[in-house]
Amino acid sequence: MWEILFRYQDFVAINKPQGISVHRSGGEVSLTATLAAQLGVEKVWLLHRLDKQAGGILLFALNPQSAAVLAAQFAERKMKKTYLALSDRKPSKKQGWIKGGMEKSRRGMWKLTRNMENIAVTRFFSIRISEKCGCSSLSHIRVRHIS
Catalytically active residues are 51
Backbone angles phi, psi at 121, to 5 degrees: -125, 130
Question: Rounded CA gap, 81 and 29, in Å?
Answer: 26
Question: Rounded CA gap, 118 and 127, in Å?
Answer: 30
Question: Rounded CA gap, 67 and 64, in Å?
Answer: 5
Backbone angles phi, psi at 59, to 5 degrees: -110, 140
- Helix (H) / strand (E) containing 4: strand 3-7
Cβ 100 vs Cβ 112: under 8 Å: yes
